[in-house]
Structure formats: C-alpha cells, structure tokens
Amino acid sequence: MNQPKIKRKIGRYEVGRTIGEGTFAKVKFARNSENGEPVAIKILDKDKVLKNKMAEQIRREIATMKLIKHPNVVRLYEVMASKTKIFIVLEFVTGGELFDKIVNDGRMREDEARKYFQQLINAVDYCHSRGVFHRDLKPENLLLDVAGNLKVSDFGLSALSQQVRDDGLLHTTCGTPNYVAPEVLNDRGYDGETADLWSCGVILFVLLAGYLPFDDPNLMNLYKKISSAEFTCPPWLSFGAMKLIARILDPNPMNRITIAEILEDEWFKKGYKPPVFDEKEDVNLDDVEAVFKDSEEYHVKEKKEEHPTAMNAFELISMSRGLNLGNLFDAEPGFKRETRFTSRRPANEIINKIEQAAKPLGFDVHKKNYKMRLENLKAGRKGNLNISTEVFQVAPSLHMVEVRKAKGDTLEFHKFYKNLSTSLEDVVWKTEEEMQEMK
C-alpha cells in the first residue's frame, strides 16, 4: 500500500476521516506526525462559540479537562485554534462504543455489567469532585479500550451550550430524552451531579436488561414515565441490583442515592477494585489561553488537499471494532450507525452513483470534494435523518466508502442503507467467491 497523502494537516497532526458529529462539533481521526500516536480531534466553530456566548465556559471546561487524568475518562491532550476553528486533541480509543456491545451481544451478566458500572461511577465521581458534569451520559458516550475497559468520552465537553445561572443550577434541557433525569425535563433548574447519577442508573438498567427502562414513541408519554419513574425491572435481575436501580431512579433528586452511598452498596462492592493512577504530572494551561487570543501569532496552520484521503494499514485496522478486520467489509450493517463498502470504481463515479441513488429516496444532497451530506427533507421519528458519506483511497485502484448516520433515527438509517445498497450493486466490489455465489 502506498504512503498516505495528507488530505489535511492541523499543526503537527495529520487529519483523516470523521468519526463523530454533533450540533457544535465534528470529531476527526488524526495522527501525531512527530511520534505516530493516533488521536481524535474535536473541531468547534469559533463563530458558533462566540454567538452562543460559550467562550468563557469552554475555556473553563477545557482547562478543567486538561487536569483530569483518570483511567476511565478519555484524556484531553492539548487545544489549538485557527482563525475560524478550535481544535481539542483527545485520546483515541479503539474498542468501539458500549452501545454497540449491547446491541450486538444483548444484555450482560451481572458480573460484567457491574464491572462497567463500577468504572462508570469511578469516572463520574472523580469528575464531579472537580466540578465537571457530563449532562449527556448514555452508552454511545461510553467507549471501550482495547483491553475492554470503559472510557467516558465528552466529559465536560458534550454540553458546551449549557449555562449555570445565579441560583447555581443548570437550566437547559439537554441530553438524550431516554437517559435524562425528571428534574432536567421540568425546566426549573437542576443539579448536574444528581442528574448525571440518574443517567448512570438508566445505563445500569440497560446493561442488565438489554432494553430501556423508559421508552415511548410519544415524547409526552415518555416524559410522563420518566417524571413518575414508571418502570419495571425484569425478573432475572437479582434483588441487590433491583434495589440499587430503584434507589438511583428516584424521581425526587433530593431523595436519590448519592455516589458515596453507592460506593457502600453491597451489590456494587462485589469484586470492586478502586482505580490506581498517578495525577502528579505537571499540566501546562498556556494553550488554553492562546486559543481565545485573536492573534495570528497563536493560530495553528491548516493545510488541505482535494483528493480522496489515502488510508494506511493502521487506519484501516482502527476503523474495525476490536481490531478485527473481518468487520470492515460486512455486507450487512446490522444495527450499527455506520457501515462501509469497497469499490474499484473511480471516486467521482462513486460519489455520482450515491447522489443518483439518494435523491429518489427524498434526500437533499450536499457535496464537498469527496464527502457528501444527505439530508432527508421529511422529518422522521427523531427529526430529519442526516447521513454523511466519505470516499477513502485504500490502494491506487481501490476505494473504501463510509456511510454514517450523522443525525436522526438509527432504524431509519438501516432502512435507507438497504435501499442504497440495492441501487449500488454494480459499484460495490465483490470477491471472486461472491461472484460465483451470485451465479
């Protein structure tokens, strides 16, 4: 395989594919060109930050996150800025999301679920002790490293638009509805610590049951169920697990169990190992201040090339969950929110074929170089379905195409992908064995 051409470089980092998207940010895979270390770079738009009066809070959050060095929290290495963007360099975690593990493997045994829950509580407790609250805890924000240890991502960075008012409470409803605490929904202000703990309780329920405690296609009915803590534990749960979940999912935050009490709970304590780590490393916060100085002196240089991003073997492996290359070119996407296929066709032809297939399905198409954003004009269960696609060069005559849900309902994405794959049968590269099977 040829050496990759750098499509984009930010300072010393060679930037690759998009691995996540949100309202205010996009996350890219990158590599430190000085030592080869893989990282994730979160990219924020400066104009949006300033328009939403978020600059001071982001400065505070980033400075705090740089001080947080916990084995179960994704590390923040450094921050940089250009004239228009803020770049947050984060630890790159290769084991996939806990969400995918639940979807693919189903509910967990209590010992396994307890291990992940213990690591989650360790991370949440540590960050709360430093005044950092997540506000969007859910399995999609819980990553697994190559050893299967839990890593909380976006801690302190997921809810950048939130503001604490004079009463010391947060007032913006945020997060994924199924995991949000009742006090967040009632719009009278809430404490970030107890709200995070509720989300931890929902996560524990999902790990043990394999489904959500609160779910309803009607949003108002869902809010009613959450507000009254209307849920039933499945019969296979032990009494200790049921009791702990009931104490966490108390709709009254004043009566909800605290983390200190969870650490003393008999079910929680079984096999518990406190995290061992060293926090003594010196931390330089100069880069945090430089990000907000409007001077060319402090701006990082960006370089771009308009070619499909070339991909080396390491990046190819890192795109596969658990470093298993067999997962890279699955014909069926399963229940994932992204999928990939390979093609021997030219990159421009692949882009045009996707556009021709998407438009009849009701999608508005936005193209930029070898990336596309498809937006369904008709709102679905969770708003308009947005899909991102990107073409990568794996070898001179072989491209890999990533199709990823950027926004909307996951099941609607799978329905779209099935329709799309039918339209692209002549584009997808097949092995000789697959060609023989089709005869």
With b meaning 16 or more CB within 10 Å and e meaning fewer, what string describes 368-407?
ebbbbbbbbeeeeeeeebbbbbbbbbbeeeebbbbbbbbb
- Is 42 assigned a ligand-binding role in the annotation? yes
Active site residue 136: yes
Cβ distance 79 to 63 under 8 Å? no
Looking at the DSSP bridge assignments, the partners of residue 306 are: none
With b meaning 16 or more CB within 10 Å and e meaning fewer, what string describes 275-306?
eeeeeeeeeeeebbebbbeeeeebbbebeeee
Q: 204 phi and psi, to 5 degrees? A: -60, -45
The alpha carbon of residue 87 and the mean position of all alpha carbons in its chain are separated, in whole angstroms, by 17
Cβ distance 319 to 329 under 8 Å? no
Task: Look at residues 61, 77, 58 and name the one whose alpha carbon lies nearest to residue 12.
Answer: 77
What's the token pair of residue 10? 């930010």
- Residue in 105, 111, 125, 136 annotated catalytic: 136
Contacts of 393 (CB under 8 A, 6+ apart): 5, 307, 308, 309, 310, 311, 347, 399
- What residues are annotated to the active site? 136
Query: Which residues make up each annotated binding site for ATP?
Result: 42
Please report, in range form, the residues annotated as the binding site. Answer: 42
